Structure 1
Amino acid sequence: MFCHNCGMKVSTDANFCSNCGAGLKEELLQHEDEVLSGRSKSKSKKRTYLPFLPPVISLFLVSGLVGGYYNHEQNVNADVLTMKKEAEELALQGDYVKAKSELENALEIRPAYHVLRNNLEVVKIAEEAHIELDDVKTQIKEKQFEDAESNLARIREKIVRLDGPLIKPLKDEASETDVMIKVGKVNNELEQLKTVEELSRKLAVISAVPSEEGKAVKEQILNRIVQLSIEEAEVKIEQKQFTNAMTVADRALQYAVNDKRILALRDKIEQSRKDFEEAEFERIERAMEAAAKEDLKNKNAALEIVNLKVDEDEVGGMTIKGELKNIVKANVSSITVYYNILSKDKNVLDKGFTTAYPFKLEPGNIGKFEDYYYGVFEDVTVEIENITWVVEDR
């Protein structure tokens, strides 16, 4: 042992240094405390890291598990979203069965995904509405208009609060079906209306309907007014009541403004009046009677049918259009086309006629005729029965 003050060697049991008198026991105790303290600190440092090792290892393990689970869930979500998108595309294509199957499979994977459940309900509603709309259209064709209106109202109530690309076409189709019902009801009523006055009152009622919905109905009424006016005017022409015939035509033009059929009719009335005043009415009448007896298929030398087209609509209406050609070297005027409506068995269901336009056809020129026939709810054909005209002197 050495003295901490002077460095002299002293005995281990000495309390004071024999050279400088410094106390030795106190210093020794202090030195032992420092040594002990140092060991304690050293020991403490060695033990500091050991308790943290298990939590760190656990942390890494948990992080790995969480990361793996997260990636798995992300992949599952991606698959579910793909199935959802596929179902939406199938539904838009009208394949409701496959669309429902895709959504049900997705719900088995993600039962808590409420969007899938909502989409499934919308697809089911769309499928039901589509089927029911087809049933309503069948009822319209069968003239069951009250039932059709009631069922359409129920369909609209079912989809009114829904929206989206799947529902919008159904709403549009429902609106179109509503128009079909209105048109069908009016057409059904038209069969009971026999005068222009009655039709004009109905026209006033329809004019209050919004333009998009009332346009088709209004067109049907105007066509009927034109038909009745032509029929009435033709009778008056035959009776040589030319002033009354012109009054009928002018009244029709008040409703069907600039209608080509009525304008052609006015020309016919004027010409008939002129011919009568010039004492040529008998020649015109004989020419028309002779032409009426001739066969349409080229047994006459004046006119030739070059085109005939019949278009049926969904509410029992049928538009008859055609073209005819003047194949002689003289002017042909006062052309009237007569036609028959034939059943499947070729029985005559009804007859009709219309005035061709323009009123006068020069050699080689083509004229047109057009008429609208309503109340057809079976397969029919149209046959041109006869054409009458006047061949004018050069």
Structure 2
Amino acid sequence: MYCHQCGAKNAPEQKTCVKCGARLLTAEVRQAVLEVAAGAEAMQRPPAYRQGEPVAKREDKASGAGGVFQWLIPLLFAGCVGLGLMLYYSHEQSVNRTVAALHQQAKKEALAGRYSQAVKLLDEASAKRPGFAALRRDRDLAAKAAGLQSQLKEAAEQLKAQKLDSGEKALKQIAAAVSEREEPLFAPLKKELAADQVKLTVMKVKSGLDKLHTVDALAEKLDSLNGLSGQEAAAVKAQIIGKIVGISYAAAEKKLRDKDFAGALDEVDGGLLYAADNEKLTAYREQIVQAKQEFEEAEANRIRLAEQKAAEEDLNNRMAAVEVSGLQVVLDDYGDLQISGTVTNKATRPIESVSISLDIYDLSGAYLGNTYASVSPYRLEPGESGDFSASYYGVYSKAKVSVANATWYLE
């Protein structure tokens, strides 16, 4: 059996065309068409070719009223059947156009992700052409997509309610089902799924941010957001970067107070690694560099002054470590001079074995001689004092004594 609409071959028991879906002619209709066609063909033959009658006899019959009805009735019947067939064909073509339009609109709806609307349109088309296999196939696909879309909406509601575990489980199940589908109508569903997966990742990262207080931990979360797009992902990235900046700044500030300039720079550079254009960290880095330079200059100046002072102290320790005071000279009854005094350690280090050299002069200034005196105690701390005493014999008159020299050992 062949389709009168598209010419495709169909099985005898088929009611609609497997190719275009048009309703096929029944056996009765086909028989009627054949009979009408045969009658019309017989009416068009010349009278001489009608079987079983002489030409003269047929001409006699044709001249009567019965002859008129003999060809008029089949002709009217053929016209009625032809009109009916024409109306039938016109109706079938109209149905086919309607079904094709519904089918095309359903495809557009499905490709736009409006699967429920596509199912309704395909159901409407299938009601008009129930035997159209393409409609059934597309309807099944649209219904499958609509079901997955409904599940996806439920998963989105779970995420909205902060039920991340159940939402994640649902998304994994949907992803497994969608991954097996390559049909174009599943593209919008895959896009929706990807958006919800991004949302899930963002929510999981965001939920744990308050517990993270190190740059490394925050950087790990930031890495997990790489490759994700959308406003929510961008907002969480900005939040993480802001927290990294704050932690880096605070750590650098503390180390700067401790004069740990290298550590402060490391903290700032660690933050700039994730926020290269951050003005706050950039300005603070310049401040650290400037403070480091000023500190190094001050330290160099301090060291120079310290070295200078140390040199002066060393010179003083070597040249003027002792101070003699309270020098007394007494002429005893035997004509000898009894000399005593006090020595104070003016050095910055302990001294020991201090010895004082004393010159003796008469009252006219004539040099009489020299004597030595040892200081007790043997060791003097910085600022500590010790006493010395000495005798000079055989003067028999008053005299003057002056300190000629002093010697000591520095520890």
TM-score normalized by the length of structure 1: 0.46
CA radius of gyration, larger in: 2
